[in-house]
Structures are given as C-alpha cells and as structure tokens.
Structure 1
C-alpha cells in the first residue's frame, strides 16, 4: 500500500531496501519484472541501476497509481494484475524477476511459482523472498495466508525450479565505533546502497550470535546466479535504531501511565466500597429506628396533630 505522508519507514527500509540492493549488480541491460512491486520504489531503483526495461506488477490499483505518480522512469511501466497469472505478459519474456514478500500473501503459492517459471527466460535469474512467520516478532502480518518454515519454502521452491541458492535474512542489533564523518545530504532512500562503505571502513567485525537459516527472520531464494557471484550483505541504520528506541520509550511511558491509572482506579473502587458500606450501616440504623416502639408512638403523635390541624415539625 502507498506510504502515508509523515510515516517513518526507517525500520522497514533496513529490511526491504537491502534485497533490491543485492539484485542491483545483476540488472544492467536486462528486461526485469518486479512482481508485487508495491509503491514502486524498488522498481524505479532497478531502472536507475541500468535495467533496459522494468515492469512493476501489483494487485492493488492504489499502489499502482501511487507508483505511477511518484516512481516514474522512462524505462519503467506499471501494471495491475493478480500475481497468480499475469495475462498480458508473454512466456519466457524476462531476463530477471524479483518478488519480495509476496508468496505468503497468495492463495495458491505453487501456482504463483509456476507463473514465475513461465515468465522467466531459459537461463534467467530469479530473486524471491519470504518471511519466517514462525519466529517471535511484533511485525508478523495478519494478512499472510501461509506461514512457511524454511524447509517448506525450500522444498516448494525446488519442486518448481530444481536448484537454487538460499540466503537467510537476519535482523540484528549492531554497535559501531566510527571515526567522525561528515554526513551526506540524502537524495533518495537508496543512496546508501548506491554508495556503499569503502573497503576497510570497519577494521574488525564481531559476531556474537547468528541463527541457522531455519531460524532466520526471512529467506531469499536465488535462481540462475552462481553462488560465487553472491556475497553476504549488511544494512546498518542508526535512524532505524532511534525510531525503535523512541517506540520503546513511548510504550514504557504508556505502560507507566496505565499502571498509574490502574492504581487510581483501585483507590476509587476502595472509596466507593467504603461509601457503600457506610450507606448500608446508615440504612440499617434508619430501619432499626423506624421499627422501634418510640418511632411508632412518635409517628402516631404526628398523625393526631395533623388531624387537629396543629403544626407538625418532623
């Protein structure tokens, strides 16, 4: 769906942009299909990296309208279609296909993969990602129709394509010791991926823990690219960390406020219970008075005074 004005996408960018950046070295001079292109930022990026033509396909017309307006390029065109079968596209017509975080949304994953195989040229390249919804995460979408473990994703993919290289995508917390650098003016959200860190920027690298691909946060399947051409990728974002810390602080403040409200509610409930108890005691006393002989004689005396027309002061 289109990104709303004012929405901070820093965390999502760390997740999504690195996939397109990994594809970038392979798109030059090729006809590329970006299926489930969303708002089109990745589609445009691949055109900027030298693709001969890029077609972005998405089922959501509002996303296509947004992409056509904000992510235009002479080599880019957008098309609204169901991903299971893109009727207007011919067999074996693309050199390279990308589809990120799509398969889990679709009713028929196998049919979708068969459609990608139909559209890909012999010897063509395919990059396809899928999240691991069996992990613990607050970002697992309720719109996912399928939840794939790695072995399920791998076996389904290989049953259609025969062979592939698989990467795991891992979300990590990083801490960097960096000499003072002059910040560069940001032109687009892909700037960092167009101008990667120079060799030797980090002297030492430390890896405290990284899970196996079975426990990764997501999977990436690659067809038609020799494993020797693929390298591990890393995306660092201080802005994303700041957004996350802000969200955690906001959540903690909300928790403390909720705790304070709960204490206030308990205090008010205790006061109400005490007031109800005091009312009960008073009502019991009144009932006892009204049932006493003195009270009955007093009421009879008032009745006589009324009959005689005398003033009654109760």
Structure 2
C-alpha cells in the first residue's frame, strides 16, 4: 500500500506531524475522550486530518468524522480508512440536518467553535444529535488569555469567546455541564510506581504560598455537556497528558543552553574590547 502524503500544516487544522506545545494540547483532548468511546456511536465534528477520529475508533467507538474540506476528508480516508469502525464524510458541522435525531452517544468538537460564526446553530445540531444519556465534549480558547493577554490574533478564528459567553451558549442547551481548563504548564509530577490508585492531588505555588488545586488561568476551555448529570459521572477531576520524548522541555533546555552560550560569548567579547581599549 502506498504511503499517504502528509497533509500540509496551514495553521487552520492541526496535523499529527507537528510537535511540541500544539501537539500536547491537541492529543490530550482526544486522550481525554478515549476512555468514553468504547461501544459508543461517536461524531467527531470538524475532524480535520483524521488522527483523532482514528484514535477514538481504535478505542472501540463507531466513529463518523466530518469535515467541511473535501480534500481533508479525502486525506483522512486515504490515511485512516482501514481502521475498523471508522468512516469519514464531507459536511458543514453547522448544518447537520441530514443526520437523524439522537444518532450519537458521544459528540466531539475540539477547537471548532471559534472557527465558525453560526455557533448557536452548531450547538443546536449537537443537542439534537445526542442520544439519551449522551455526552458532548467541546473545546475552545479563552479569548482573554489566548488573544487579549498575548496580543496575537489568530487569522483562522472568526468568533472567539470569553468564559461567560461560552458558558451561556452551553447553558441554554445542556442542563448538565462540567467545565475544564486546559493549558500547557511546567509541573513537578509525583506518581505511584506500585500500581496504587489513590485520589489525585494538585498544588499551585503563588510566590512562597502553596494552594490546593491548579490555579493557572486556562488557555482553553473544554466543556462536557449532557442532558442528564449521570452522563458526567465518569469524568475525572484532573487529567494529565505527558510526552515521553519531552519535546517541549527539550526545546526549552536547548534555548537555555543557547542563551547561556550567547551570554558567555558576549562577556568574552566585552572583556576583549576592554583589554584592547586599556592604555598600554
């Protein structure tokens, strides 16, 4: 079988060949959804390249991945089409009237909301498609942290939301909700090596004071939405996703080394300049 060419990264859709921060952010969302997939009918709305749909299907879900780009869907079919329980189709996720009511047990919509203007229509569609006991996982950036504080505008985002706006959109459609924050953080992690499954702990340092919980401002929100609160019961309070290659940390270490080498070289040049300028 011929190898499928890698899909070009334009910044609009994540591709699994990208590494470091963006990789951990995107893979973590699907890893979070993965334990919920077995035996469920899953809609991956705006599936993009298809890697996440394939992950969810491999976990036992019957997955339909939808994307508006015909070329993107063609790529996903070519690359992941042999995965059991996985299908791809071209569709606008703000116009899903062709799909029957209550036809999915799990709907995933990661980093899609901010790319569309018709957000209300998209969420109405998801609510209609959820079967009784079904669950929607939807993520989006926090406009305050992602854009206001950084001063960087993402050209592919047409309608970013502040937290109250995001929660208001969901509240009118889903009576039961849990809101999670997501951000790539430097953390010291202690984990059991003996198989123990005790409850997790989290602490945050503020100056010299230690507080319970994670107190950082989220870069992204991930909301779990349902009609019945029982559908949310299996969700964890904390989800940690690690990269065994430590790509982000390794890049940070390289930059520190480069900076130190540059500073040492500047100091050497300054000393040499002083030596040459000194009177004989």
The TM-score normalised by the length of structure 1 is 0.65
1:221-270 deviations in whole A, cap 9, x for unaligned? Answer: 112364542211012331122235557888x79x99xxxxxxxxxxxxxx
Looking at secondary structure, tell me which structure has more strand per residue: 2
Q: For 1:62 and 1:17, how far apart are their aligned partners in 2?
A: 22
Find the residue that maps to 2:140 and give its secondary structure.
Answer: strand
1:37 and 1:56 in contact (8 A); partners too: yes
The Cα shift of 1:62 comes to 2.2
Number of the residue aligned with 2:172:
159
Matched, 1:242 2:250: yes
In the alignment, which residue of structure 2 is the partner of 1:229?
Answer: 234
Q: Decide whether aligned partners of structure 1 residues 168 and 6 sit closer, same or farther in structure 2, where only a CA change above 3 A counts.
A: closer
Query: 1:121 aligned to 2:125?
Result: no
Match of 2:63 among 54, 69, 76: 54
1:66 has 2:70 as partner:
no
From the CA coordinates, give the structure whose radius of gyration is larger: 1
RMSD (CA atoms): 3.4
Structure 1 portions without partners, runs of 5+: 182-196, 257-314
Alignment partner of 1:42 is 2:52: yes
Contact 2:111-2:140 within 8 A present in 1 as well: yes
Q: In proportion to residue count, which structure has more helix? A: 1
Residues 11 and 243 in structure 1, CA contact (< 8 A), matched pair in contact too: no
Deviations for 1:134-180, whole angstroms, at most 9, x for unmatched residues?
213487622111121111100111112223111111221124689xx
- Please say if residues 39 and 67 of structure 1, whose CA atoms lie closer than 8 Å, have aligned partners that are also in contact: yes
Q: How many residues are matched?
A: 236
Please tell me whether the aligned partners of residues 2 and 38 of structure 1 are also in contact (alpha carbons under 8 angstroms).
no
Distance 1:131 1:67, change over 3 A: same
Partner of 1:107: 117
1: CA distance between counterparts of 2:123 and 2:78? 29
Distance 2:120 2:22 in 1: 27
* Partner SS, residue 42 of structure 1: helix
Please list every run of 5 or more consecutive structure 2 residues that lacks an aligned counterpart in the other structure: 1-5, 10-14, 207-213, 264-280
For residue 133 of structure 1, report the CA deviation from its aligned partner.
2.4
- Give 1:3 deviation, angstroms: 4.8
1:240 partner SS: helix
Deviation at 1:206, TM superposition (A): 4.8
1:207 correspondence with 2:204: yes
1:201-235 per-residue CA deviation (whole Å, 9 max, x = no partner) reads: 9x9865325436xx311111112364542211012
Q: Give 3-state SS (helix, strand or coil) of 2:38's partner.
A: coil
